[in-house]
């Protein structure tokens, strides 16, 4: 097992599910970052950013799941970040940033879980275990 495989073990499965994400940084600058998901699960989301967010940075997360429901709003924190190499032609000089949900309420968690399960079952999403 490579070092990365050991780091990439997750509690919850994730799937490719493009949706819109707004992150509000609690820092002095109070950045508002509009982005989209790389993958999503009931425990968190991976987003693609043009700037680095440091580990354990608290953020406010707003997800538009594009399912006609209300946006999901919760608090989260940055649990990992990886700068993409310039050799990645598709998305050069971006950061993949993992956000863990901290205050996702039960109803919203269930809604998200239903989407993930449906995508895994129908093979529309690529599961990331």
Q: Which residue would you say has higher pLDDT here, 122 or 51?
A: 51
Whole-model pTM: value is 0.77
Most confident of 25-39, 47-61, 111-125: 47-61
| 6 contact partners, CB below 8 Å, separation of at least 6 | none
Q: What's the pLDDT at 32?
A: 78
Q: How confident is the model at residue 25 (pLDDT cuts 50, 70, 90)?
A: confident
Question: What domains, with CATH codes, occur in the chain?
Answer: 17-122 (2.40.10.220)
Tokens of 78: 């940055």
pLDDT of residue 100: 95
Distance between CA atoms of 40 and 114, rounded to whole angstroms? 12
**Predicted pLDDT at 87:** 62
Q: How far is CA 98 from CA 37, 67, 121, in A?
A: 10, 22, 24
Summarize pLDDT for 29-53 with one digit per residue, the tens.
Answer: 557 788 878 888 889 999 988 888 8
pLDDT at 2: 35
Q: Quick one: pLDDT at residue 65?
A: 84
């Amino acid at each position: 097992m490579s070092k990365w495989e050991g780091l990439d073990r997750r509690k919850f499965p994730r799937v490719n599910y493009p949706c819109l994400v707004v992150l509000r940084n609690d820092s002095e600058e109070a950045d508002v970052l509009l982005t989209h998901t790389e993958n999503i699960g009931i425990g968190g989301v991976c987003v693609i950013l043009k700037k680095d967010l440091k580990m354990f940075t608290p953020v406010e997360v707003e997800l538009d799941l594009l399912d006609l429901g209300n946006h999901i709003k919760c608090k989260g924190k940055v649990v990992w970040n990886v700068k993409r190499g310039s050799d990645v032609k598709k998305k050069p000089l971006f950061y993949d940033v993992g956000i863990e949900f901290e205050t996702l309420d039960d109803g919203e968690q269930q809604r998200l879980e239903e989407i993930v399960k449906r995508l895994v079952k129908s093979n529309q999403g690529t599961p990331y275990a």
